[in-house]
A and B are shown apart, each in its own frame.
Chain A
Amino acid sequence: MAITRREMLSGIAKAGVPAAVAITVVAETHDEAPKVPSAAVGLLYDATLCIGCKACVAACAEANDTPPDTRGDSLHQSPSDLNDMTRNVIKLYKPADGSRFSYVKRQCMHCLDPACAAGCPFQALHKDPQTGVVSWTAEKCIGCRYCTITCPYHIPRFQWQGFNPRVTKCELCSGRLEKGLQPGCTSVCPTGAVKFGPRTVLLQEAKQRIQDHPKRYYQERVYGELDNGGTQALYLSAVPFENLGLPVLGTESVPARTLRWQRRFYQYFALPAVLYVGLVQVIRKSLKGHEHEMHEREKETGLRAQL
């Protein structure tokens, strides 16, 4: 009963470290930036043009067949944030020192590499390969709320009341898009603060606006061009994006940070399987030895021994 650890290690090694290493090496590294879907559509929101009329909030509820959320004062549709009845909301950033204020429209960013879809254990959140719209499927969702935890923008919202809870998030009015209509929010915006279109066109227009109006926009850049691996909702603002709830995430997407290692460790479940087979070998060997000893002890004492 000496060298047990060595036996374990050699058992694991014999069972297939070469195979596991091969799979780990062959596994794609996924370091390249996420691909933009071929027909990627998106939203361009310019916070300097928004007048905070909330027409888009009402239009969003209408387009999605949702009753208006009047829980605030039992009279007006006045959600304070996204919730189980609100896919789109206008919020106000107003610093106490009286410096520049700004409205912000919050809805799903439709990330090129969505963290919600990467985290969902049953693929209930799905990014459309053509349009890139991230949508939720009721038949696959188990209600674990991981999407609400993992989204860096805190967009999907869980329904806390009722026996059949749903996850509510902007799905870019994909039903209306199929009919050739615009999403609810962009169809009513009076100032053109939020526009709908192909992502490439919107990105070009945003850059043109930055060029036409030097010093108007924060950092002279479009939020969502590269942030979080790129998003399909693009933002322009005069105040820092962080203050509008758009955190600094870097150009690498949130899921890419973990997937780089997860793909290696869990590709085809190879490494766990190898570890398991190795452990089974060691346990079989030691159980055999223990059984032998047990029989000897039974012979010696005449009592039934338990293994």
Chain B
Amino acid sequence: MSSAQATLIRGPKEMFGRWARAVPVFGFPVVTGQFLLLCGLILIAFVLTAYRELAGLGPVSGMNDAYGWGIWKTFNVMVLTALGSGAFAVGIAAWVFRRKRLHALMRMALLTSFLAYACGLLLLGIDAGRPWNFYWMVFPWKWNMHSPLAEVASACRSTR
């Protein structure tokens, strides 16, 4: 623990008090070894994404006619949507069922769920073969409201 952190937080009670009053509790350096490692991973991911967009889905994902979705759509929907719905659950508990102590969590929960859904939307652009046609989303009368896929997507959007 760095000294800056030690001076900021003097015990759990103090920490919760500061947190509840929206005082930033982090006083640690941001650019660390771990941070750079993750940046390196992101860089590799960008290169692979460019390769996927140019070469097609097959060479990168190993998907074929028998496994049309593979683990890609599964990861997208079942992992990122599930992570993103954390804010939904906390929000229901805090705002609908009035657990006041959870209010302090809501900003954090909304941020994480925003990140998860933003990642999900970005990944959808990588997972879908023709992402440039996503502009149809702007015209609701062009949607097929009876498509289960469209319903999952709109349900995900409406929880935001």
Chain A residues within 8 Å of B, Cβ to Cβ: 1, 4-5, 8, 81-83, 117-123, 138-146, 148-149, 154, 157-165, 255, 258-259, 262-263, 266, 269, 272, 276, 279, 282-283, 286-287, 289-290, 293, 303-307
Q: How far is the CB of B126 from chain A (nearest CB, A)?
A: 11
Contact of A142 among B53, B57, B104, B128 (CB under 8 A): B128
Determine the chain B residues whose CB is within 8 A of the CB of A262 once the complex forms.
Answer: 146, 148, 151
* Complex CA distance for A287 and B91, rounded to whole angstroms: 11
Q: Does B144 contact A123, Cβ atoms closer than 8 Å?
A: yes
Q: Does A121 contact B143, Cβ atoms closer than 8 Å?
A: yes
* Among listed B1-9, B36-44, B94-102, B110-118, interface-contacting one: B94-102
* Complex CA distance for A263 and B144, rounded to whole angstroms: 12
Q: Does B95 contact A143, Cβ atoms closer than 8 Å?
A: no
Query: What number of A-B contacts does a CB cutoff of 8 Å give?
Result: 136
Q: Does A165 contact B147, Cβ atoms closer than 8 Å?
A: no
Contact of B98 among A4, A119, A157, A306 (CB under 8 A): A4
Determine the chain B residues whose CB is within 8 A of the CB of A5 once the complex forms.
Answer: 97
Quick one: given A1-B98, A120-B144, A121-B144, are A161 and B65 in contact (CB under 8 Å)? no
Determine the chain B residues whose CB is within 8 A of the CB of A140 once the complex forms.
Answer: 133, 136, 142
Q: Does B20 contact A305, Cβ atoms closer than 8 Å?
A: yes
Determine the chain B residues whose CB is within 8 A of the CB of A161 once the complex forms.
Answer: 55-56, 58-59
Determine the chain B residues whose CB is within 8 A of the CB of A304 once the complex forms.
Answer: 21-22
B149 within 8 A of A: yes
B78 within 8 A of A: no
* Complex CA distance for A142 and B138, rounded to whole angstroms: 14
Nearest opposing residue in chain A for B125, CB measure:
A142
* Most chain A beta-carbon neighbours within 10 Å: one of B57, B100, B136, B146: B146
Quick one: given A163-B53, A266-B145, are A306 and B21 in contact (CB under 8 Å)? yes
Chain B interface, DSSP helix/strand/loop, else mixed: helix
Q: Would you list which residues of chain B between 38 and 82 have a CB under 8 Å from chain A?
A: 53-59, 63-65, 68-69
Determine the chain A residues whose CB is within 8 A of the CB of B144 once the complex forms.
Answer: 117-123
B10 within 8 A of A: no
Q: Does B68 contact A149, Cβ atoms closer than 8 Å?
A: yes
Q: Does B103 contact A143, Cβ atoms closer than 8 Å?
A: no
* Complex CA distance for A122 and B153, rounded to whole angstroms: 12
Q: Does A81 contact B96, Cβ atoms closer than 8 Å?
A: no
Determine the chain B residues whose CB is within 8 A of the CB of A263 once the complex forms.
Answer: 146
Quick one: given A121-B153, A142-B133, A258-B148, are A162 and B56 in contact (CB under 8 Å)? yes
Q: Does A158 contact B65, Cβ atoms closer than 8 Å?
A: yes
* Complex CA distance for A307 and B97, rounded to whole angstroms: 15
* Complex CA distance for A287 and B17, rounded to whole angstroms: 21
B131 within 8 A of A: yes
List, sorted by A's number, 14 A–B pairs whose CB atoms are closer than 8 Å. A4-B96, A140-B136, A142-B128, A143-B128, A149-B68, A159-B56, A159-B129, A163-B53, A163-B54, A165-B57, A262-B146, A263-B146, A283-B96, A304-B22
Q: Does B57 contact A160, Cβ atoms closer than 8 Å?
A: yes
Q: Does B55 contact A286, Cβ atoms closer than 8 Å?
A: no
